[in-house]
Chain A
Amino acid sequence: MTVKKQMNRREIIGGMGAIAASPFVSGQEFNVIDRDINLSDPIQNALAYAKLIGTSARSMVHIYYHGTIFGMTPDEGVKPMIGLTGVLKGVWKPWVDNGFYYTLYDCGYFMDLKTGAPVEEFENPFTGEINRPVKIIGGPFDRVIKPDLRPFKSRGDDLWLEEPAYLNFVNKLDPKIWKKASTGEKLSFLYVETYHGKVSDLANPELDSIPMTITSTHNTSWYPFFLMGQRPGGHYWQSVGKKVENLEVDVPAVLIDYIENESPGYFESERPWKKRTGTFQAYKNQRQPIKE
């Protein structure tokens, strides 16, 4: 197998230009699509997952996203807090036992709700204080996709998969030290990612990677930069996006420029950075506890 460490810009811009039309497949309310693919077969199910979310080939995919974080408290209800946008990078390869392995990276910025421009600070609508968000950066996060029965749903030629994840883990920010940034000793996350594609694309054996749109919703503890302390509530993070088929058409130029400036080679490299990071870790690394 030829292992390709880097893609050039032209390959990314060209993206998945070879998408071919396939016959329309009709069906409803089944988890099995009885045409070229059989999603009740765990091996084909894993292959379908890889083609929809990433790629079944040794390659990279990029996913553009754009969304809003809403804050929710029992006393003050719901308020939009800040926007966000970025590009996820998935570096995929076939794995042992009919599985797939991918490494995920994330790079982007929090943005002004009105202008969409990157922000270094904003006024928190709940506290009235000026907050300084960290940059959006995450990964590398590794994951193995094993043969399994994932509950794909379909209506006609539309197919989607909802993938919930529940996370409870120890907060890296000790609430005794990080009094304003830490929401408590444990963090609670409910993520639901919904991936949408076409049955006809999935059934096309010539495609390793098919067009996909995504809707993400995250119900989580407050991000540390909101400085909400242990105030009841949390935030609702929603974004929409898609697998990038053509970088310059699908991703706003301002975001491409931002990422290329923050992480040169992000789009081309299979390993844009080595050390694992995330929003909470980045906050701990970059900031100091705030005294009351």
Chain B
Amino acid sequence: MDRRDLLTGKYGQGKLDLKNSKDSLYAYAKLLGSANNAMVHYSLEGTIFAYLPNGAQKLIGFQAILKGVWEKIDQDSYSYKLFESGFFHHLDSKNYIETFENPITNKKNQLSNIKGGPYKTVIKPRQLDWVISGDDVWIQEPKTRIGYFGVSKPNNQDKETSFANTIFRGKISDLNDESSIAPSMMTYNYISPWYPFFEMDDVDGKMYWQAVGIKIQSWSDVPKSMKNFLKAKQKNYFESTNPWSEPTSTLKHYRENNKQK
């Protein structure tokens, strides 16, 4: 990009053409993770709202570190493995908690940690729906999940629907530079039935998870409260490319721990 392009805002006229599926794949990998073999992390911070028939209210806070282990398979494909590790916290503090006085039920909840992955994905060139405005670019990943959200997986219970939408934002000028990893901001929204550890089966409503985070460069960028949590509960999570091998999720992790009690 030359000075004239900067002055006239012609950010899209670098080497990348996001309408081209190969360029688009490269940009996607570079924005979300890495266009080369690398491990990237996002540090997320958010709030869960209880969305009740008579209105919404903040319920609890949460933090998570998302880990993506990216591999470039060839010119036309990448693979990545995702992990997540995190915790819940009170709305007025960032320290991790294991029990929670639920303000809606007035019961004491025994919480689970946030734990998920490895989720493995291979991506190939495809048409992606980028939103572009000047030098800013966004891509969203809406995903519907259908499953059981109860304490266990009963045979006679209907499956329920949840919906997650993740939005990544970056700069076209960053995607056009020589590096293989671009700065990225992530907004995560998740609408779900009540998770079982909140013990709200009798309450009409749903959960709305909202979080924001950025791709971080190193351990020094990890918030202190998250460092404390990882040191206590998930040692070597940040350094390892494979912190655990058995696929899990927050729900599965909770159920397994619950079974052992």
Task: Decide: A156 near B49, CB < 8 A? Known: A70-B163, A240-B140.
Answer: no
Residues 236-264 of A, flagged 1 when their CB comes within 8 A of B and 0 if not, give 10101110011001110000000000000
CA distance A240 to B133 in the complex (A): 10
Q: Is B223 an interface residue (CB 8 A)?
A: yes
Smallest CB-CB A-B distances: 4 pairs: A249-B9, A29-B223, A190-B56, A240-B138
Residues of A within 8 A of B173 (CB): none
Q: Is A160 an interface residue (CB 8 A)?
A: yes
Q: Is A164 an interface residue (CB 8 A)?
A: yes
CA distance A120 to B57 in the complex (A): 36
Size class of the A contact interface (CB-based, 8 Å): 35 or more
Residues of B within 8 A of A240 (CB): 131, 138, 140, 167, 169
Q: Is B97 an interface residue (CB 8 A)?
A: no
Interface 9-residue window, one of B14-22, B183-191, B251-259 = B183-191
Q: Is A150 an interface residue (CB 8 A)?
A: no
Judge whether A162 and B212 touch: CB under 8 Å: yes
Q: Is A179 an interface residue (CB 8 A)?
A: no
Judge whether B49 and A196 touch: CB under 8 Å: no
Contacts A77-B163, A164-B49, A196-B185 given; 5 further ones with Cβ under 8 A? A156-B216, A196-B169, A217-B165, A236-B189, A249-B8
Q: Is A64 an interface residue (CB 8 A)?
A: yes
Task: Decide: A242 near B133, CB < 8 A? Known: A155-B216, A190-B49.
Answer: yes
18 pairs across A/B with beta carbons < 8 Å? Answer: A68-B142, A72-B163, A80-B142, A158-B185, A162-B210, A192-B208, A194-B187, A196-B169, A196-B212, A213-B136, A217-B187, A217-B210, A219-B191, A236-B165, A236-B189, A240-B140, A242-B133, A250-B133
Judge whether A162 and B47 touch: CB under 8 Å: yes
Tell me the residues in window 216-248 of chain B with beta carbons closer than 8 Å to chain A beta carbons. 216, 221-225
Residues of B within 8 A of A29 (CB): 94, 223-225
A190 smallest CB distance to B (angstroms): 4
B42 smallest CB distance to A (angstroms): 10
Size class of the B contact interface (CB-based, 8 Å): 35 or more
Judge whether B212 and A160 touch: CB under 8 Å: yes
Q: Is B157 an interface residue (CB 8 A)?
A: no
Q: Is A74 an interface residue (CB 8 A)?
A: yes
CA distance A22 to B24 in the complex (A): 32
Residues of A within 8 A of B224 (CB): 28-29
Tell me the residues in window 96-115 of chain A with beta carbons closer than 8 Å to chain B beta carbons. none
Find the B residue at minimum CB distance from A192.
B210
Q: Is A58 an interface residue (CB 8 A)?
A: no
Q: Is B154 an interface residue (CB 8 A)?
A: no
Judge whether A250 and B169 touch: CB under 8 Å: no
Judge whether A238 and B146 touch: CB under 8 Å: no
Residues of B within 8 A of A188 (CB): 53-56
Residues 93-121 of B, flagged 1 when their CB comes within 8 A of A and 0 if not, give 01000000000000000000000000000
From A68, A78, A166, A188, residue with most partner B Cβ within 10 Å: A78
Judge whether A66 and B169 touch: CB under 8 Å: no
Q: Is A168 an interface residue (CB 8 A)?
A: yes
Judge whether B223 and A238 touch: CB under 8 Å: no
CA distance A208 to B160 in the complex (A): 48
Tell me the residues in window 36-81 of chain B with beta carbons closer than 8 Å to chain A beta carbons. 43, 45-47, 49, 51, 53-58
Residues of A within 8 A of B160 (CB): 74
CA distance A34 to B243 in the complex (A): 36
Task: Decide: A219 near B161, CB < 8 A? Known: A162-B210, A164-B58, A241-B133.
Answer: no
From B54, B160, B212, B221, residue with most partner A Cβ within 10 Å: B212
Task: Decide: A217 near B189, CB < 8 A? Known: A28-B223, A80-B142, A153-B212.
Answer: yes
